[in-house]
Structure 1
Amino acid sequence: MTQVLVVDDEPQLARLLVINLKARNYDVDCAQDGGTALDAVAAHRPDVVLLDLGLPDMDGIEVIKRLRVWSQVPVLVVSARHGSEEKIRALDAGADDYITKPFSMDELLARLGAVTRRTLSDGSTNADEAVVETEEFTVDLVARKARRRGKNIRLTPTEWHVLEVLIRNRGRLVSQRRLLQEVWGSSYGTQTNYLRVYMAHLRRKLEADPSHPRHLITAPGMGYRFDA
């Protein structure tokens, strides 16, 4: 049974989440502040954390940063903060996904299910495998080879770098700023047009339908994700 830790200081929302998750066979624990949440992750090793950012003792982003020092437990942020900057800060700190309040329970369950499926199927939250295979293409990061429908695909060094960052973080949303800085350097963080161009190139070379990609996914205003 998948174990979920709900971290929220709003009793009504926490209770609603507990009822809905338990009804779908999740094992659920709750924490009302950041300190309790960190202790609960250490003690009980949940499979995923649903984290509000507005906690009474510390900001939720600080909770993510502290967790990432010693844990790779998936973190799905559930917050009333709608600004792009807040979302990017959470993703840069190590959050796996971000959903804003108010939200539909169906959307939350879909995102939660996606995170837990990735974790359980990998047996780990780390994506260290060098070879990725999809129905459409295969990528070998060590050999730096890509094949689509049995044919070799030539990628430029920059295209390789963008793809490598996304694959190393497969299933997790990588913020635009982080992707820019990892590929082009620390002085880059706002040149999002670079990413649009290179993602278009990669989709054209790898995706079956570049206008409706299945693997190189855009989260508008936030970043990009690779789904195998």
Structure 2
Amino acid sequence: MDNKPYILVVEDDKPIRNFIAASLKAQGFNYIETDKGVEAIALSMSHKPDLIILDLGLPDMDGIEVIAKVREWSEVPIIIVSARENERQKIEALDKGADDYLTKPFGIGELLARVRVSLRHSTTTNNEKESLGIFKVKDLVVDFNKRKVTISNEQIHLTPIEYKIMALLCKYSGKVLTHNFIIKEIWSSPVGGETKSLRVFMASLRRKIEKNPAQPQYIYTEVGVGYRLVDD
């Protein structure tokens, strides 16, 4: 096996699975594929992929169950590809530990871009060595060196993208960050290209750090503009 990233593709629609696999191969990625959730869990343990592309609508078990099982032992990046458009279901998948979400139909260029971003974030997480200090405001503490977020001394699990957003908000605490600025920093996407994804991730992040997301203490929405993290 070479050093190229190894990707597990879990998709029960054979034409879509073949298309994804062929696209990954064309980009030089190694991959393995399956159409079953149970087998996906076993393969994730035996092959230890660098990233998982996962459909939620599998024939033997719900993809959200697969996420929960994998997260019991691994932090491997998981990108959801699903026909489910309900925002609640997206948030549930992210809460269980998914790192990103694409709604079908999607362009293969967009999927490959998400794959590159997730792999880059994962590499940064695994290789980051320098001490970046600690951010504190009220009961929120972000330890950048340990990549650890706590609320009232209770550790909060964030996905890589949620942590990236949290770190960005901390860096500019007290300042309003526009939607376009956050999207550019997190996804390196064209202006407006990830607006829906940003809304979903922010909703998930708030659910984790706010006692009452409807009355936030930490992350405020500047209507029509963006978001602001309190600085005092």
What residue is the counterpart of 1:171 in the other structure?
160
Q: Does 1:55 align with 2:91?
A: no
Cα distance between partner residues in 2 of 1:2 and 1:23: 13
Is the counterpart of residue 118 in structure 1 residue 121 in structure 2?
A: yes
Matched, 1:7 2:31: no
One-letter amino acid of the counterpart of residue 105, structure 2: P
Q: Which residue of 2 aligns with 1:157?
A: 138
Deviation at 1:111, TM superposition (A): 0.6
Q: What is the CA distance between 1:102 and its match in structure 2?
A: 0.5
Alignment of 1:16-165 (within 5 A): 16-123=19-126, 131-132=131-132, 140-141=133-134, 144=135, 156-157=137-138, 165=149
Structure-2 change in CA distance of 1:190 and 1:84 (3 Å): farther
CA distance in 1 between counterparts of 2:111 and 2:204 reads 25
- Does the CA-based 8 Å contact 1:47-1:74 persist in structure 2? yes
Aligned residues: 180
Contact 1:3 1:46 in 2 (8 A): yes
TM-score, normalisation: structure 2: 0.66
CA root-mean-square deviation? 3.3
> Using a 3 Å threshold, how does the CA distance of structure 1 residues 43 and 193 change in structure 2: closer, same or farther?
same
- Extract unaligned runs of 5+ from structure 1: 133-139, 145-154, 206-228
Distance (Å, rounded) in 2 between the aligned partners of 1:78 and 1:69? 21
Q: What CA distance in whole angstroms lies between the structure 2 residues aligned with 1:119 and 1:194? A: 26
- Which position in structure 1 is the counterpart of 2:210? 184
Mapped partners of 2:126, 2:149: distance in 1: 20
On the 8 A contact 2:210/2:216 being kept in 1, the answer is no
1:195 maps to 219
Specify every segment of 5 or more residues in structure 2 that has no aligned partner in the other structure, as ranges: 151-155, 164-200
Q: Measure, in 1, the Cα distance between the counterparts of 2:79 and 2:130.
A: 26
* CA contact 1:51–1:60 (8 Å) conserved in 2: yes
Rounded Cα–Cα distance in structure 2 between residues aligned with 1:42 and 1:192: 39
What amino acid sits opposite 1:106 in the alignment?
G
**Following the alignment from structure 1 to structure 2, what is the Cα–Cα distance between the partners of residues 12 and 172?**
29
Aligned equivalent of 1:149? none
Deviation string 1:69-113 (CA, Å, 9 cap, x unpaired) is 111111000111111111100000000000111011111111100
Residue by residue, what CA displacement relative to the aligned partner does 1:39-82 show, whole Å, maximum 9, x if unpaired?
Answer: 10011000000000000011000100011111111100011111
